[in-house]
């Protein structure tokens, strides 16, 4: 059985107190490096467990070299295994795991939209609309997380005067150089959590349930 890379990094760190990352896991100079790290995380889940003891010792493993993006792979892991979230941990793990099997955002969304829809099938349209309108609802929080993967898949880069600001995964905002909110949004609809929410709501209305 192969040893997951995260476990190897931990073993080396305990001996040397250094972390020598392979090039594909280095913090991205612009944007973020989430997909490669998430795949390594899921390798750990498969071969070890959902409990990643290595993260108790390893230093913060940042996804980006950009100052305004402080997200670490440890934060992504904490989001996936959060047992206080009303969407079951297994569902979150399955959704993200299915997403990682794709390199195209549209194909990834097509592969998980039905699974997400099942989470709201029993709600009436008003309840679904309310849930998807609340920025911190469990479902919208998951859609925020998915938009990170889709942004990276689609190679989205904001204008030079616009930056992603993220201090708590999965939330972020687009800001101007002076720190004020930017009106810019990715042109690809799948890269906007609000569009993902509206697509789920559309599916609910069209289902007639």
Q: Report whether pLDDT(32) > 90.
A: yes
- Cα-based torsion angle of the residue sequence 25, 26, 29, 35 in order, rounded to the nearest 10 degrees: 20
Residue 103 DSSP one-character state = S
Mean pLDDT of 119-137: 87
Q: What is the CA radius of gyration of the chain?
A: 18
Q: How far apart are CA 148 and CA 201, in angstroms?
A: 20
Q: Report whether pLDDT(177) > 90.
A: yes
Helix ranges restricted to H, the chain = 5-16, 35-47, 73-81, 89-99, 105-120, 125-133, 138-153, 193-207
At 199 the pLDDT is 94
Q: Report whether pLDDT(118) > 80.
A: yes
Residue 100 CB partners (closer than 8 Å, separation 6+): 35, 38, 39, 42, 149
Backbone φ and ψ for 2, nearest 5 degrees, come out as: -65, 150
Sign of the CA dihedral with 204 first, then 93, 189, and 128 last = positive
At 1 the pLDDT is 67
CB 145, CB 112: distance < 8 Å = no
Q: For residue 196, how many other CB atoms are within 10 A of its CB?
A: 24
HSE-up of residue 168 (Cα within 13 Å, Cβ side): 2
Query: Predicted confidence band at 209 (pLDDT cuts at 50, 70, 90)?
Result: low
Q: Indicate the domain borders of the chain.
A: 1-33+47-81
């Amino acid at each position: 059985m192969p040893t997951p890379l995260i476990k190897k990094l931990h073993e080396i760190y305990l001996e040397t107190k250094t972390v020598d990352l392979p090039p594909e896991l280095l913090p991205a100079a612009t944007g973020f490096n989430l997909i490669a790290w998430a795949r390594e995380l899921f390798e750990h889940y498969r071969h070890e467990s959902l409990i990643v003891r290595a993260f108790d010792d390893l230093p913060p493993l940042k996804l980006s070299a950009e100052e305004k993006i402080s997200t670490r792979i440890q934060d992504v892991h904490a989001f996936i295994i959060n047992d206080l979230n009303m969407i079951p941990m297994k569902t979150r793990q399955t959704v993200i795991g299915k997403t990682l099997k794709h390199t195209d955002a549209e194909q990834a969304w097509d592969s998980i939209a039905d699974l997400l829809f099942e989470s709201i099938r029993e709600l009436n349209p008003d309840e679904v609309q309310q849930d998807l309108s609340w920025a911190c609802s469990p479902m919208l929080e998951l859609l925020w997380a998915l938009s990170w993967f889709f942004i990276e898949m689609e190679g989205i880069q904001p204008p030079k005067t616009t930056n992603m600001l993220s201090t708590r995964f999965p939330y972020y905002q687009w800001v101007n150089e002076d720190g004020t909110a930017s009106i810019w949004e990715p042109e690809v609809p799948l890269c906007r959590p609000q569009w993902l929410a509206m697509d789920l709501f559309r599916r609910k209305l069209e289902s007639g349930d």
